[in-house]
Amino acid sequence: MTDRPHHRVAVIGGGANDEHDVSLASAAAVVAALRTGGHTAVPLTVGRDGTWHDEGGALLSPADAVARLTSCDAAFPLLHGEHGEDGAVAGLLDLVGVPVVGSPVRAGALAADKWVTKTVAGAVGIACAPAVRVAAAVSATEAAAAVPSAPPLVVKPTSAGSSNGVTLVRRHDDLTAAIEHARSAGSTVLVESFVAGREVDVALFRDRTGVLRCGATLEIATDERGVFDREQKYDGSAPFRIPAGLSVAEHAAVTGAAAVLYEVLGCAGVARFDFFVTGDGVVLNEVNTAPGFTEQSQVPRMYAAVGLGYVELVDELLAAVLG
pLDDT, one tens digit per residue, over 269-319 is 999 999 999 999 999 999 999 999 999 999 999 999 999 999 999 999 999
Predicted confidence (pLDDT) at residue 231 exceeds the cutoff of 70: no
Look at the pTM and tell me if it is higher than 0.85.
Answer: yes
Calculate the alpha carbon distances from 316 to 90, 296, 303 in Å. 19, 18, 11
Q: Assign 230 a pLDDT band (cuts: 50, 70, 90).
A: very low
Is the C-alpha dihedral spanning 255, 258, 263, 267 positive or negative?
A: negative
Predicted confidence (pLDDT) at residue 71 exceeds the cutoff of 80: yes
pLDDT cut 70: percent of the chain above it: 93
Start-end ranges of CATH 3.30.470.20 in the chain? 109-128+196-322
78: nearest Cα among 281, 293, 268, 276:
293
**pLDDT tens column, 5-29:** 899 999 999 999 888 999 999 999 9
Calculate the alpha carbon distances from 105 to 2, 34, 93, 112, 208 in Å. 32, 24, 10, 11, 20
**pLDDT tens column, 75-125:** 999 999 888 899 999 999 999 999 999 999 999 999 999 999 999 999 999
Predicted confidence (pLDDT) at residue 244 exceeds the cutoff of 50: yes
- The domain made up of 131-193 has a fold known as Dna Ligase; domain 1 (3.30.1490)
Predicted confidence (pLDDT) at residue 226 exceeds the cutoff of 60: no
- The per-residue pLDDT for 186 is 82
pLDDT (average), residues 169-177: 94
Calculate the alpha carbon distances from 117 to 51, 88, 132, 185, 289 in Å. 30, 17, 14, 18, 12
Start-end ranges of CATH 3.30.1490.20 in the chain? 131-193
- Cα torsion through 147, 120, 122, 255, rounded to 10: -120
Start-end ranges of CATH 3.40.50.20 in the chain? 8-102
Ranking 39-43, 56-60, 182-186, 223-227 by mean pLDDT, the lowest is 223-227
Class (C level, CATH) for 109-128+196-322: alpha beta
Question: How far apart (Å, rounded) are the C-alpha atoms in residues 316 and 292?
Answer: 17
Mean pLDDT of the chain: 92
Q: Assign 237 a pLDDT band (cuts: 50, 70, 90).
A: low
Candidate CATH numbers 3.30.365.10, 3.40.50.460, 3.40.50.2300, 3.40.50.20; the one for domain 8-102: 3.40.50.20
- The per-residue pLDDT for 3 is 66
Q: Assign 161 a pLDDT band (cuts: 50, 70, 90).
A: low
pLDDT (average), residues 171-197: 92
pLDDT (average), residues 49-70: 97
